[in-house]
Each structure stands twice: as C-alpha cells, then as structure tokens.
Amino acid sequence: MGTGTPHTVKRARRVVDAVVDGVADLGVHHIFGVDGANIEDLYDALFTTARAVRGVVAKHEFGAATMADGYARTAGGLGVVAATSGGGAMNLVAGLAESYTSKVPVLALIGQPPTTLEGTGAFQDTSGKAGSIHAVRLFTEVSRYCARIERPDDLAAHLERAVAAAWSGGSAVLLLPKDIQQATVDDAFTFRPPPRRSGQDPDGLTRIRDMLAAARHTGKIVLVAGDQVARDDARDQLRALAAAVDAAVGVAPDAKDVYPADQPGFCGVTGTMGHTDLIEAVRHSALCLLIGTRLPATARAGLDTAVAAVPVASVGVEPPYVPAVHATSLDLRQTLAEFVDQFSSGSRRPDPVKHSALTALEVPENSGLGLRYREAVEAIAAMMPAGSDVFADAGNTGAAVVHHLPVSRGGRFVVALGMGGMGYSFGAAIGAAFARGSQAHGDVSAPGRRTFVIAGDGAFYMHGMEIHTAIEYQLPVTFVVFNNNAHAMCLTREQLFYFGRYSFNRFRPSSLAEGIGVMFPSLPAHPARTLDQLFDALEAATTTSGPSFIAVDCDPDEFPPFLPFLTQPAIEDSHRDRPASRPQ
C-alpha cells in the first residue's frame, strides 16, 4: 500500500519523475499496476512525489488494466495503468483491447529491459531485435498510439501525443526502457496536457435537425442512446431533448445509466438482452435517432428489420453499423444542447409520454435449485443505495442484469461489451471506487456511495482475486457472485446447439461465500441460497464501510433473458430434456 516515509535527498529529476508529474497534471490521482524490475523506478517516483497521485498494486495486470478502464469510465477522465516487461506487459493486452474497442481513454506505461541489452538475448526483450517479440507492433494493434521512448528528450512529445490519442477514444501505450526511466530530464522539460477533443459536423447536424423537425409533424421519434452520452456527460441534455421533441427513449446495453428507467418515455434496452417494447417503438416511429452508439450486433439484435423500415439518423464520434444519415459530434453535451435550444423555443412542449412497466423477455419455466435470475436481480435493485455504480460481467448473469436491473440516478452502469472479457467487472469496479474516492477528496469510504460487482462464478474464477485489492484499500465495493457451478452461457449453448449430448462446462459444487470468508477473515462474506438470505446479505452490505461478498446460489440450467437463445426452435425440447443440476 505504499507504506514508508519518503526520503528528502535532493536529486536530479528523472524521466519517471516527469511521467508522474505529467499524470498529476492531467488530474489523475491513481496509477494502477503490478510492480516488477523494469517498472519499479516508476513506483519509486510515486513514493517520493509530493503530487496528489499514488500507485495501486493489483493482483494481475489484466485487473490493473480494467481498474484504469473503470476509473476512466467513472471519473470521465483518463485512466493510467503500469506494468513491467515480459509476461506483465503481455497480460495487459486483453484489458487494453477492451478500452480500445469501447473507446475508453487509458494510458499504459510499460517497462522494458535497458536499451543496452536489446537484441542480446535479454530477459523479457520485446524490442523486435534478433528475433524477439516486437512490442511496438503488438501494442499498436490495441492502441490509438504506441511509441518506445528512445531518448529522455523525446518524453514530452510522446506523452502529449499519447494523451491526445487516448482522448480521441481508446488506449495509448508508452514503452519505457529501464535505463531511459532512470535517465534525467533537462531542466527545461515541459509537458503541456493536450485539450480534450471537440468538434462537430455543422452540415450533418443541420440535416439531422431538419429530420427531427419533419418527424415531429408526422409521427413519433425514438432516441436510442449509447455510452458516448455518459462519456460526454450529456445525460441532462439527452433528457431535455427527449422532452423537447416528445420522444420515446431506448438505451444500448452499456448505457443503461444515461436515461433512468423511471423517466417519461423510457422503452427499454436494445439488443440481445433487450426489450420488445423498444423494437415496437422503433417499428412504428417516424424517425429513429441514434445518439452516441454505433449499434453493434449486441445492441442491434431484433432491431434490424425495424431500423431497415424507418428513417434512421445518427450523431456521435463514428457512424453506426446500420445505414443512417450521420453527423459527427465529439461533444454530445454541446450538440444535444443545441438541438434542445432549437426545439424548446417558440413552441409548447408536448405532454411527456407516461412511463409504464417494460415487457420482460419470456424464458422457459425453471424448477431447479437456487434463486431465479429475475428475483435475485430485483432484490439487488430494491436494496441498492441511490447513486450506486454497477459493473456487470459477461455471461448469463450479465444478460439478466442488463435486462432486469433498473439503474439508480447518479450511478454508472457498465457492462464491458467491447471484448466481453470475463472477470472485467472485478478490477473495473475497484477502479471506479478509487475514482469516486478521488472525487470525494480522497475519502474512498465516503458515505452513501457504493460500487456493485455482479458476476458469475466463471468470471470470479478468472479474476475474482482482485477482491484482495478492495480489502487492502477498504473500498466500498459489494461483490455479488451468482454461483451456478458452471460456465452457464457455454452450458446453455451446449444444450441448444449441440443437443445437450455432453457438457464441458459444469463444475464441481463450491461454497464460495464460506471459502472466501475463511480466506479473508476481515471480509464480510454471505451465502444467499434463499431470497430472505439475499435480502439479509444486501442489508448487511449497506452497513459495511469496506468491501463485502455475497454468493447467490442459482441453477446452471436456467435460460437467461438472451434473445438469441430464446428464439431457437430447439429451446422447448432442450429445456424439457435437459439433465438435472448435479455435481460432477
């Protein structure tokens, strides 16, 4: 935890000292990572700095990368991750790929062996010389910018370019050889933080304004909002636009927090885990306006026919995957505010559409052991403090959370669908908790604010040991793990697509809460095998200042609210003939 007393010996300013100062200049308060020989000088700089930035050591570099990702998504700024060379660097790839695909600004600082040893068989050499792995080429594929710092004087320019690239949406990488980290920088060294990206397409926005004006007179407008609304902090402007044009509003799976479910006109979530109400709304609309979403496959399932039959417009960083009239906007807050000004003035605001309960996807009846997905998720929603942040993991559990969980006002909702890497939520939630603590002037235990992880046991087995980091820093994170002793989505696919003839994806039964409670005696750990036990565990978690752990028993054979599964002709036979839940 960075314990010790900084020494006061005056010494020359090193490259790593300049890096730490640059991170602090960007308003970043935490660098997440795992220490090692070729990045330890950065940790020394973090220990000796007087700036308000500190190092957080994770259990695994993937976890550290997702912490930086979750930090950036929650704070609306830049996330920073550090790793050593070799295996440590390689472990970052999956996490950086998520940030790259989801356009989350993350800066990776990766240590390298000294330049004098490149191409000589050095341990963990990734210089690309003498047949070694070429780190620049490798990380270029998962970043908007990647550079190896070859000279101390090159640092400022590369750091500025890397940050600017990250601000454009995605990860950026700086490779730092150990001797370069230790080298001194010139007294004239200056890092100038680049401005946040801005800009829009005036002609395109004019076309979309005309389409909105025409649609108001001919029928209903449907807005479908994506994650860029959250990244640009444009939630208020989205709600104002919906009211100004009397629109129905749907959200992409990774954007449930941009328009609360209790707001007028809300008609559900798009895509594979979505609601039929939204499909019907689009089908009967005069215009479907996509805001800050490209509508990828996970957000488009079920909508293809509907959007093909109505006019579609789009505003955001990039054009959508469906045909649409698109206008580029790098700042939705500004763009939507301009739309609101045009459609709010000089006319009476129509009565808002009344909110009504959404139609849930119908899943086959289940009589297995444990709690059903819907009742467990609704219990979590009922007990979740206002303003809580939620990080859901991939899989059947994630599908249930996207479909059934209403998001409270003021909190973030994140499901990582860029790469869908299992275990993402554990690190990302920890990064979010640090971000909230920074916003509360460093008090990570600020009352009234909790972060929830909702994941399956498969995701927990991959990267769940990051809970140790939450314990070390006493972060207010509640880890809810749905334990069905299976990789349940893979199991469901075996049943549907391979006729349930076999299963590679059932586990031996595990008592997760009891095991975690023994492993970490200071961590409140609660089993929840009944609904009453779940309510009691959630209530206990809200009175805990630090982390807590809840294991919810559920049935691996329950079908989730996941459209591709529920539309399979074999679903009834598969459900009727499936094997009972059993230990191996």
CATH code, 296: 3.40.50.1220
Q: Are residues 152 and 300 in the same domain?
A: no
User: What is the pLDDT confidence band of residue 584, given thresholds at 50, 70 and 90?
Assistant: very low
The pLDDT score that the predictor gives to residue 407 is: 86
Is 366 a member of any domain? no
Domain with 384, as residue range(s), is 373-566
Average of pLDDT values for 377-399?
A: 94
Q: 226-285: per-residue pLDDT in tens?
A: 999 998 999 999 999 999 999 999 999 999 999 988 888 999 999 999 999 999 999 999
Q: Are residues 153 and 286 in the same domain?
A: no
351, pLDDT greater than 60: no
Residues 382 and 528 in one domain: yes
Asked whether residue 337 is domain-assigned, the answer is: yes
From the CB of residue 562, how many other CB atoms can be counted at a distance below 10 Å?
A: 24
Q: Predicted confidence band at 345 (pLDDT cuts at 50, 70, 90)?
A: low
578, part of any domain = no
224-233, 263-272, 290-299, 439-448: the lowest-pLDDT one: 439-448
Q: Which of 191-205, 275-289, 347-361, 421-435 has the lowest mean pLDDT?
A: 347-361
* pLDDT, position 163: 97
Q: What span, in angstroms and rounded, lies between the C-alpha atoms of 253 and 548? A: 26
Question: How many domains is the chain built from?
Answer: 3
Range in 29-38, 59-68, 318-327, 359-368 with the lowest mean pLDDT: 359-368
What CA–CA distance (Å, rounded) separates 61 from 519? 22
Together in a domain, 173 and 255 = no
Inter-residue contact 181 to 15 (CB < 8 Å) = yes
DSSP E strand boundaries for 427-495: 451-456, 477-483
172 and 209 assigned to the same domain? no
Distances (CA, A) of 268 to 405, 469, 526: 11, 35, 32
Could you please report the per-residue DSSP string of 395-425? SHHHHHHHHH-PPPTT--EEE--SS--TTHH
Do 306 and 157 fall within a single domain?
A: no
Q: Both 46 and 157 in a single domain?
A: yes
Strand partners, 384: none
* Residue 408 sits in the same domain as residue 525: yes
In a shared domain, residues 474 and 556: yes
DSSP 505: -
pLDDT band of 416, cuts 50, 70, 90: confident
- 332 shares its domain with 397: no
Residues whose CB is less than 8 angstroms from the CB of residue 237 and which lie 6 or more positions away in sequence, other chains included: 332, 333, 336, 337, 340
Are residues 548 and 407 located together in one domain of the fold? Answer: yes
pLDDT band (50, 70, 90) for residue 572: low
The domain that holds 82 is classified in CATH as: 3.40.50.970
Output the pLDDT for position 420: 85
pLDDT tens digits, one per residue of 38-90: 999 999 999 999 999 999 999 999 999 999 999 999 998 999 999 999 999 99
Please check whether residue 189 lies inside any domain of the structure: no
Same domain, 174 and 215: no
Q: 359 in a domain, yes or no?
A: no
Q: Is residue 6 part of a domain?
A: no
Residue 408 is predicted with a pLDDT of: 76
